Amino acid sequence: MALRRRSLFAALAGLPLLTTKGHAITPGADSALIVVDVQNCFTPGGSLAVKDGDAVVPVINALSRHFANVVLTQDWHTPDHVSFASQHQGQQPFGTVSLPYGTQVLWPDHCVMGTEGAALHPALSIPHAQLVIRKGYHRGVDSYSAFLEADRTTRTGLDGYLNSRGIRKLYVAGLATDFCVAWTALDARRLGFEATVIEDACRAIDLNGSLDKAWAEMAAAGVGRIRSQSIG
Ligand SMILES: [Zn+2]
């Protein structure tokens, strides 16, 4: 009875029901961990390093042990990619340009396909990961999202893969919270998946308030927000 009363209280309070180990979530066969862009270019020493970006690596390695299904993503650009400031005369990194599909933030050259900068971080250790999905490989279109390119119509195929495997619940981690992680989680919701971002397994770029904006958009879209200790 005491347990039932506590469960009811927790449910009413909107709190997760904790097990005796203090974990609320045990991922099952219908769940996947999506590890976004943990690549050399986005970690310290890289050309578009996210502050403390390498701090996510041990957290993600530990988290991955709780998931039977893990998908990795890689930002993967042509050397002359449209998202690079170097391709636009008179433009600097972190400015913006207008492209046929909308406003594009310009970045330093990063994650050029086949280069060391585009490689996964060497300390990332998830040997049981089943799929590596590359994105942003069309020269004229960026792709923060692991599902849909920035033209909002070209698909990467990830939703088809997940659907065909019966995976419905996605837990998103990686770099950067306010760009590729957020866009991936938002598109997951649009495509009918459950989506939860594991905040301490992510780090942000935070460009002109982009981090607060991203969390607000994710909350409005029904993206969950948890910390890694909730999974076990
Ligand atoms: Zn990129």
Residue 12 has pLDDT above 80, yes or no: no
Any domain includes 4: no
Is the pLDDT confidence value at 125 over 70? yes
Q: Is residue 49 one of the residues assigned to a domain?
A: yes
Q: For residue 77, report the distance from its CA to the centre of ligand 1, in Å.
A: 7
Instruction: Choose the catalytic residue: 75, 111, 135, 202.
Output: 135
**CA proximity to 158, closest of 36, 18, 29, 62:** 36
Does some domain include residue 87?
no
- 191-202-53 Cα angle (round to 5): 135
pLDDT at 74: 98
Q: What angle do CA 25, 30, 35 make, to 5 degrees?
A: 75
- Which pLDDT band holds residue 229 (cuts at 50, 70, 90)? very high
Q: How many whole angstroms separate alpha carbon 100 and alpha carbon 138?
A: 14
pLDDT at residue 8, rounded to an integer: 52
Quick: pLDDT tens for 17-52.
554 456 789 999 999 999 999 999 999 999 999 999
* Structural domain of 114: 27-79+109-230
Residue 94 is assigned to a structural domain of this protein: no
**Distance from the alpha carbon of residue 139 to the mean position of ligand 1, in angstroms:** 11
Ligand 1 mean position to 127 CA, how many Å? 24
Catalytic residue status for 180: yes
Percent of the chain with pLDDT over 70: 91
111 alpha carbon to ligand 1 midpoint, in Å? Answer: 6
Burial class of 17 by CB neighbour count within 10 A (0 to 12, 13 to 18, 19+): exposed
Q: How many domains does the chain have?
A: 1
Query: Does 66 have pLDDT greater than 80?
Result: yes
Residue 214 is encoded by which pair of tokens? 């991203």
Asked if residue 91 is part of any domain, the answer here is no
We report the CATH number of the domain holding residue 174 as 3.40.50.850
- The answer to whether 200 is a known catalytic residue is no
Q: How far apart are CA 232 and CA 201, in angstroms?
A: 14
| Residue 60, domain member (yes or no) | yes
> Rounded to the nearest whole angstrom, what is the distance from the C-alpha of residue 79 to the centroid of ligand 1?
11
Catalytic annotation, pick one of 41, 75, 111, 180: 180
Residue 10 lies in a domain: no
Q: Is residue 58 domain-resident?
A: yes
212 is catalytic: no
In angstroms, rounded to a whole number, what is the distance separating the alpha carbons of residues 99 and 114?
26
